[in-house]
A and B are shown apart, each in its own frame.
Chain A
Amino acid sequence: MKLIYEPWPWYIAGPMIACILFLLIMVGKNFGMSSNLRTLCTLCGAGKTSDFFKFDWKSQKWNLIVVLGAIIGGYIGAHFLSNTSAVALNPETISDLKSFGFESAGTAYLPTEMFATSALLSFKNMVLLTLGGLLVGFGARYAGGCTSGHAISGLSNLQLPSLIAVIGFFIGGLTMIHLIFPLLF
């Protein structure tokens, strides 16, 4: 039982995700988180501006409840199921991040330089977080899905479009880390 408090290895987490996929399919739904962002737009009244947001949001209520669960799950995971929040990264990754100014690498769950509440006072950090969010939201809807919708659901259903999207995710991610990060940090 003690193991539950340790970070979960990939061979526990992967099957758990497959289990979540299975459960959602078996209750007649699907696994895709980014469509909730569209539902939230509709709830904010975006239907007045674009037909893309004109749909019955109640048909997606179930997914918003999954999101609520994901928030509660994050609370439970962080407050009751963890004895450490430090992520045991590859030492090379740590020294690499330190050279970018991420001193918290190896000692925290998220970089404090970006995600501590005090980081809200950094103008540069606010710009980067906003930009990151904008790209995630725009890209996910443009591609018609995110990690859950394409990389898990779509690929599990052997969908070629999902493979193209996942290749895109990696082109984008590798470009950001290897080419753009050295310019930003």
Chain B
Amino acid sequence: MRTLIYLLIGILFGITMFKSEAASWFRIYEMFKFESFHMYGIIGSALVLGILVIQTIKRFEIKSFYGEKIVFTPKAKSFYRYLIGGIIFGLGWALAGACPGPMFTLVGAGYVPILVVIAGSIVGTFLYGIVKDKIPH
């Protein structure tokens, strides 16, 4: 049952990414050129509503659908890992035109070369695991 719920949430996410064109390489390029409001509108409105959702859950201590307490884990305090990691991610996001959600959506949409990007991102994650103790965090 829970598996089916995760699958349905994923399907909803995939359809939204594809239909909103957030999975389009062109839209990412256009965003970084500041030539359209579209992507900013998507992220901005998701964010405003997301803040409302999370702050409401916290304020009223809303329980999950299963009656469990909802725990939000704060991100570890640091500066370098977020800035440098973020810059590296941004370089790749603009080049490949896809982030780790939409790249899977594009597999379903039938674009074969995106598999190269996915393979690259898995290898990239692996390389991070190997060098993580040697780079600043």
Contacts of B132 in A (CB 8 A): 50, 52, 141-142
Choice from A70, A82, A116, A155 contacting B105 with Cβ under 8 Å: A70
- Tell me the complex Cα distance, A20–B117, Å: 25
Contact of B64 among A28, A132, A141 (CB under 8 A): A28
Q: Is A99 an interface residue (CB 8 A)?
A: no
Q: Is the CB of B90 within 8 A of A170?
A: yes
CB contacts between A and B, total, < 8 Å: 502
> Which residue of chain B has its CB nearest to the CB of A28?
B64
Interface of chain A, helix or strand or loop or mixed?
helix
Map CB proximity to B onto A68-106 as digits: 1 under 8 Å, 0 otherwise.
Answer: 111111111111011000010110110011000000010
Interface residues on B, range: 35 or more
Q: Which residues of B contact A162 (CB under 8 A)?
A: 75, 82
B interface vs A, CB < 8 Å? 2-3, 5-33, 35-47, 49-51, 53-55, 57, 64-66, 68, 70, 72, 74-79, 81-101, 103-114, 116-130, 132, 135
Q: Report which A residues bind B (CB closer than 8 A).
A: 4, 7-29, 33-34, 36-38, 40-41, 44, 46, 49-50, 52-53, 62-63, 65-79, 81-82, 87, 89-90, 92-93, 96-97, 105, 108-111, 114-117, 119-120, 125-126, 128-148, 150-162, 164-178, 180
